[in-house]
């Protein structure tokens, strides 16, 4: 059967056509919970690995082979397009993205945003090559591409590195809204260029990660974030999943006015309650509590069954954790979750 004739469970769920068995994949499935990943990464820095096509492709494929998940998530990072734009950034192990020069003043913003976002598309050949290699190996299993949302990227850029409450980025939007909108508008174009490269090369869906959006007041999300996140993903030729942590207070806004085919939900909000908030024309993704992945199997099994049951309230359900796989996770547990989800519909 040719790839075109087959519509994957993931894409069907995104289109609102509920498959008999819910598709399942895991955020951060490619990465530190896998010994074969740690082995491959020895001696290579994170961002160098992302820009080495055969390595990025192999790391993307590892969890698909091991767990039998219904999608691959492209191995890369939200800061890769910034590196491609010439911004000095590294990922420090155990910490996260760190920038040589934080973007804090109106002058900083003006200098950064003078870079043409088209530079990203031009420099993205290693990304296109990695996606092409991966898609060729995956066969009928779809590949999900991704990018960081403007706020989550700004939370790192303005601070200069990881922070708990993202105070500097949240202050900038109120104190200097012109600079904020300029920065967020530029980040939206940069992420859109990164998504475009992945789509050109064959990803079947994309996820916009606004991991830290939950630190925002709903009014700030609406005024300062949603228009830019919408610009990053509007009118793409593939379906969009929009994910954030702690977004319960403004979950309906996470639909981005209907541009998102699916909204990701963290572990705090039961999926039946989330479905009542977002309405019948959007798919939900989530929301196994990452803390329970380390619990005794009977406890985790009961929780996964509860997630599946509540997920039936949505127009369609893509099973995932409420956030990324914790690094210390026993990979065998993830495989067992996939088996449980796949057995549920039969
Ligand atoms: O498996 C996958 O999900 C695909 C690859 C992926 C990575 N990062 C690889 C990675 C994806 C989708 C991301 C997105 C990402 N990167 C986000 C949004 C997702 C989320 O978890 O909320 C964020 C906030 C980042 C920024 C970032 N990069 C952080 C906070 C870290 C963790 C730092 C650490 O080591 O604890 C990274 C590094 C990173 N990105 C790793 C991986 C596999 C670990 C690097 C390593 O193995 O040394």
Q: Catalytic residue at 18?
A: no
Mean pLDDT calculated for residue range 113-127: 97
Q: Which run of H or of E encompasses 54?
A: helix 53-67
Spatial contact of 22 and 311, defined as CB atoms under 8 Å apart: yes
Annotated active-site residue 28? The verdict is: yes
The pLDDT value recorded for residue 346 is 60
Q: Locate the ligand 1 atom nearest the alpha carbon of residue 209 and give its number.
A: 18
DSSP state of 75: S
310 labelled catalytic: no
**Digit-coded pLDDT (tens) for 38-53:** 999 999 999 999 999 9
The whole-number pLDDT of residue 316 equals 98
* CATH code of the domain containing 284: 3.20.20.210
| Among 31, 64, 90, 160, residue to substitute to test ligand 1 (most atoms within 8 Å of Cβ) | 31
pLDDT-based confidence at 1, cuts 50/70/90? very low
23-41 pLDDT tens trace: 999 999 999 899 999 999 9
Mean pLDDT of the chain: 96
Domain count of the chain? 1
Per the structure, the complete domain to which residue 177 belongs is given by 4-344
Percent of the chain with pLDDT over 90: 97
The band of 6, judged by pLDDT with boundaries at 50, 70 and 90, is confident
This prediction's pTM: 0.97
Helix (H, G, I), strand (E, B) or coil at 200: helix
Picking from 182, 165, 163, the residue whose alpha carbon sits closest to that of residue 173 is 182
Predicted pLDDT at 40: 96
pLDDT of 2 reads: 42
- pLDDT exceeds 50 at position 201: yes
CA of 89 to the centre of ligand 1 (A): 14
Q: Decide: 21 and 9 in contact? Cβ < 8 Å.
A: yes
Contacts of 126 (CB under 8 A, 6+ apart): 51, 52, 53, 56
Strands 143-148 and 205-209: parallel
Identified catalytic residue from 70, 77, 253, 266: 77
- Give ∠ CA 34-93-26 in degrees, rounded to 5: 40
pLDDT digits (tens, 9 = 90+) for 244-300: 999 999 999 999 999 999 999 999 999 999 999 999 999 999 999 999 999 999 999
């Amino acid at each position: 059967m040719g790839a075109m004739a087959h519509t994957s469970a993931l894409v069907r769920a995104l289109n609102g056509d509920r498959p008999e068995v819910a598709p399942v994949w895991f955020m951060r499935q490619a990465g530190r919970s896998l010994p074969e990943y740690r082995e491959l990464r020895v001696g290579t820095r994170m961002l160098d690995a992302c820009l080495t096509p055969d390595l990025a492709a192999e790391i993307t494929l590892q969890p698909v082979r091991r767990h039998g998940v219904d999608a691959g998530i492209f191995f890369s990072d939200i800061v890769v397009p910034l590196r491609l734009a010439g911004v000095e950034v590294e990922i420090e192990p155990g910490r996260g993205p760190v920038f040589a020069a934080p973007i804090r003043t109106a002058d900083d913003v003006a200098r950064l945003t003078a870079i043409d976002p088209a530079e990203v598309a031009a420099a993205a050949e290693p990304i296109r090559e990695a996606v092409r290699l991966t898609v060729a190996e995956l066969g009928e299993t779809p590949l999900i591409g991704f990018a960081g949302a403007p706020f989550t990227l700004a939370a790192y850029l303005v601070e200069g590195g990881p922070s708990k409450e993202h105070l500097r980025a949240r202050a900038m939007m109120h104190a200097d809204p012109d600079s904020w909108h300029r920065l967020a508008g530029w980040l939206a174009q940069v992420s859109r260029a990164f998504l475009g490269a992945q789509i050109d090369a064959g990803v079947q869906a994309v996820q916009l990660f606004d991991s830290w959006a939950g630190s925002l007041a709903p009014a700030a999300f609406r005024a300062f974030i949603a228009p830019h996140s919408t610009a990053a993903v509007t009118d793409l030729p593939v379906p969009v999943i929009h994910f954030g942590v702690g977004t319960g207070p403004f979950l309906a806004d996470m639909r981005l006015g209907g541009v998102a085919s699916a909204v990701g939900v963290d572990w705090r909000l039961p999926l039946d309650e989330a479905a009542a908030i977002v309405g019948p024309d959007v798919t939900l993704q989530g929301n196994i509590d990452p803390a329970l992945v380390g619990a005794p199997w009977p406890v985790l099994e009961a929780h996964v069954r509860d997630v599946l049951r509540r997920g039936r309230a949505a127009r369609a359900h893509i099973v995932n954790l409420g956030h990324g796989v914790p690094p210390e996770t026993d990979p065998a547990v993830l495989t067992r979750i996939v088996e449980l989800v796949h057995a549920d519909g039969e």
